[in-house]
Each structure stands twice: as structure tokens, then as C-alpha cells.
Amino acid sequence: MALLRKMINTSFFGYVGLFLIFLGGMGNLVERGTTGCVKDYLDFMGMVHFNVNDVLVSFGIAVLIVVIVYDKTNNNISG
């Protein structure tokens, strides 16, 4: 957690990743509060079902992973 906090404090993309996760989570929360459930309405080839909020959370996590890997390869993180 301290590693993530350090990277987020120094990285614009760390903030972007957290913001996307926050937006997706809030969207799911609002939808569950207003309709009682979170509906999946993006259908890819009949197998995978998503909603936009799930996509935001997934992209946010992907951005954070890229930030972590990029910072480690550039030796910006001590330890």
C-alpha cells in the first residue's frame, strides 16, 4: 500500500488510474441504489457481458499496473 501511495503521489497516470476505479465504483453504486441491481449491457460475441462501470474499473487497474511496472523498470522506486 505504501508503494502504491508513493507512486500515486508522483505520477499523473497513477491519479488517472485511481480516478477511473473511483468512477466505475461510484457508477455501480449509483446504479445499484437507483435500480436495485447492476445491469450488464455490453455483450461481446454472446460470451462476455460488461457495463461501462466495469470497463472503467478494469482500465483503471490496467493503468495502475502499467504505472507500477514502468516505475520499477526505470528504477524510480527504492526498495
Q: What is the pLDDT of residue 3?
A: 64
Q: What is the pLDDT of residue 36?
A: 82
Supply the range of the domain harboring residue 7. 2-73
* pLDDT per residue of the chain (79 residues) written in tens, 0 to 9: 666 666 566 678 888 998 999 999 998 898 888 888 777 776 666 666 778 888 899 999 999 888 888 876 665 544 4
Q: Per the domain annotation, does 21 fall within a domain?
A: yes
Q: Per the domain annotation, does 11 fall within a domain?
A: yes
Q: What is the pLDDT of residue 25?
A: 92
Q: Per the domain annotation, does 28 fall within a domain?
A: yes
Q: How many structural domains is the chain composed of?
A: 1
Say which of 54, 58, 59, 68 is annotated catalytic: 54
Q: Is 40 a catalytic residue?
A: yes
Say which of 40, 43, 69, 72 is annotated catalytic: 40
For residues 79 and 62, give the distance between their C-alpha atoms in angstroms, rounded to a whole number.
23
Q: Per the domain annotation, does 17 fall within a domain?
A: yes
Q: What is the pLDDT of residue 78?
A: 47
Q: Per the domain annotation, does 37 fall within a domain?
A: yes
Q: What is the pTM of this model?
A: 0.73
Q: Is 71 a catalytic residue?
A: no
Q: Per the domain annotation, does 27 fall within a domain?
A: yes
SS (H, E, C) the chain: CHHHHHHHHHCHHHHHHHHHHHHHHHHHHHHHHHHCCCCCCEEECCCEEECHHHHHHHHHHHHHHHHHHHHHHCCCCCC
